[in-house]
Amino acid sequence: MTVLKKLLLIVNPNAGTRQAHRLLPEMISALTAGGYLVTVCVTDKRGDASVFARSHAGDADLVVACGGDGTLNEVVSGLLAGGHTTPVGYIPAGSTNDFAATLGLSPDLLTACNTVCAGTPRVYQRLLVHTAEYEECPRPCRLYPAGNPFPGGYPPHSYADHGGRHRL
């Protein structure tokens, strides 16, 4: 008997073009075929992903955010708030998926599921996220991993331009 690892899948079904909503059964099948027992939490409103991650990540071997950059931000915030060190996977299903593009993740949801199961984890020291005081920027910004993966500096008007203050 094969022992499956536990995966907590936090899905924002309304992100982007709602493809996560349409492909959820296929995504669960792909993750299960990859050796995971999948528990799904579906968000209904802002803040749900953070609550789900904070409350349930301790029971999982892997937490996967499926949605846009905002969903990923909420999941990471929930993990931090709960003191969890559970690894995080990301299935980008948002409108722009800036963070996923920066990391070179596939925009195809089923390919991303396979990457979550078979891919090599990457460790980042930290993300440029500030959860206390923040201000909203009138221009669109991008969130990039710490350690500056861009030779010569961050691209114009990235999150780094704000000194750690930005509404994500």
Structure confidence at residue 104 (pLDDT): 80
Length of the chain: 168
Angle of helix 19-33 versus helix 109-118 axis, rounded to 10: 30
Structure confidence at residue 69 (pLDDT): 87
Q: Which two tokens stand for residue 145?
A: 């991993």
| pLDDT tens column, 147-159 | 444 444 444 444 4
For residue 69, give the amino acid letter.
Answer: D
**SS3 state of residue 22:** helix
Q: Rounded mean pLDDT of the chain? A: 76
Continuous segment of H or E residues that includes residue 9:
strand 5-11
Q: Is the pLDDT of residue 83 over 60?
A: yes
Q: Where are the domains of the chain?
A: 5-118, 125-168
Q: Is the pLDDT of residue 161 over 80?
A: no
Average pLDDT over residues 87-94: 90
What is d(CA 65, CA 45) in angstroms, rounded to the nearest whole number? 15
CATH superfamily ID and name for 5-118? Probable inorganic polyphosphate/atp-NAD kinase; domain 1 (3.40.50.10330)
Average pLDDT over residues 57-69: 92
Structure confidence at residue 120 (pLDDT): 73
Opening angle at CA 25, ends 15 and 61, nearest 5: 80
CB atoms within 10 A of CB 128: 20
Structure confidence at residue 51 (pLDDT): 95
Q: How confident is the model at residue 107 (pLDDT cuts 50, 70, 90)?
A: confident
Q: Which two tokens stand for residue 123?
A: 């460790």
Q: Is the pLDDT of residue 55 over 90?
A: yes
| pLDDT tens column, 10-51 | 999 998 888 899 999 999 999 999 999 999 999 999 999 999
Structure confidence at residue 65 (pLDDT): 93
